[in-house]
Structure 1
């Protein structure tokens, strides 16, 4: 921990003078590359807009992104390197519960005083921890809304495919806890390994189960492989995934017929909701700043950037100043998405919605 303590003192002596650095440690390669790149693209949009309006009191915001390939040990190592090389005022948009957990357990955030804003994880082990400022709903919020919706549809038999790590188990634990409230019977729970992502056994196991719905507490690549294999072998249950499953990845890697009927939880409005000011602003910025990396997670990155800018405008451009600014945020309306830090033990937002993939491969609400 001594090295991290030294980093904290060096940051205090190296307050930004030429620009304000936001550091992102997130996968740009590997199984979650599509999510990491989408978050990066969204963050860049938000900071580009802020800089076009004069930055923070005339000082531009600079995003520095490094690739951890979704490996928790790399997340920690690279975060420590960035603290020395770049003196960031914040980390933003990590991807993966295990990755955020690793930063927390290594003491990187508490020892340096540099907050993490907008981690992709909505897990209970992440939300509410010191230095964490979530910008979206928790996984428990997602499962609660899902089970409420299933109950209203008369669907009660649910199987769970889950990644065998903190992320997947957090979703599974939420399902276990909330099922009785909504008269949901969890008829099967089938894990897969986080490292290999192999879903062959869960496919075989869940094909044998009498279930109406399979909840995919998975990440993008294993979820795609499960959907493909399950449907090719005649599986007919409704398939529903939480927000970490990247719809853009599924659309690129599955046929329209394989993806038809898939239901996704979202923690922000979809792009077709142009009645919302945040969507209109977001689409205008996307058109002016083309990128192959945009995906459904990009709006989450954009929201995170907007929240960081709001925090910087309320406080000083230092890690502590940013945290003070963030803590003062109450019902910040970004134009259809609201963020509130009156209770840091909850997610910064409770927005949860669902979308479906239709026969043309398009997203419909």
Structure 2
């Protein structure tokens, strides 16, 4: 057993490794999904954080210090428009909220534009280049003691940023061949991007598979459209030596289909899997099949609840997944709100020590 090789107090990296391999760590690992909120430690705007990789890295390091080094993993993740921006999509950078693709000026304006999409080099282009650079900085600063991961938005998600999701879904019904041609251009770029992050020091890559959920499309449609391309991406990550994880904050994510196609070691999610009505049912069915990262309600823990309520909710999830042989990481189901309270983020770290310690 891996755990027996560790010292009494594990490093963050050792805790995450133990969770991935279903060995109980000294305490439940914590991944607060703290992206935009980190800028509050430095007092900078979201627009500054979203466009300056050095500021982003410094914000993460200072947030870790503020939390008494209580969370166990880092990742350089600006937002979901990074890949689209590199392809040429116009992005809006609000002063105090998350950057987003301009919905009124999509790069792909017509069906013919799918076929005009050009392949880019992520190592040289836009904020993809920033992410590779920032991942390397985080890995050098924290990688010996803490987990450092990479992040890639899934192929269909990137295409939705370039076209607009509503228009893309219509095109899937009426002009599927054009959509497929664009996915053939996007996927190799994402493969190069993932490999570059691994070479920069990321131990694994999280693929955001938002479309693989009932709130986005049917399981059958996802399998016929994105699954083969997401599989190519996952296989490339493994070939490069990285672990494959997924993030899906959609309602009723398709665990069965994603496990079949992508074979992840862990899934970050906000809701129980399709077919499960409660977290208890989800834990009973899926808890020992794949490591879980989640799944607290971000808006409540960041914007609504008191510290005590946050700690109580942490305890609920720790207890619910306690029978999963250690394969659980405490986290929000999606990004901790960028304008949330830092006190509640710190409370998550406290709760892991108070309720998630294994004796």
- Same fold by TM-score, threshold 0.5 exceeded? no
Higher helix share: 2
TM-score by length of 2: 0.30
Question: Greater share of strand residues, 1 or 2?
Answer: 1
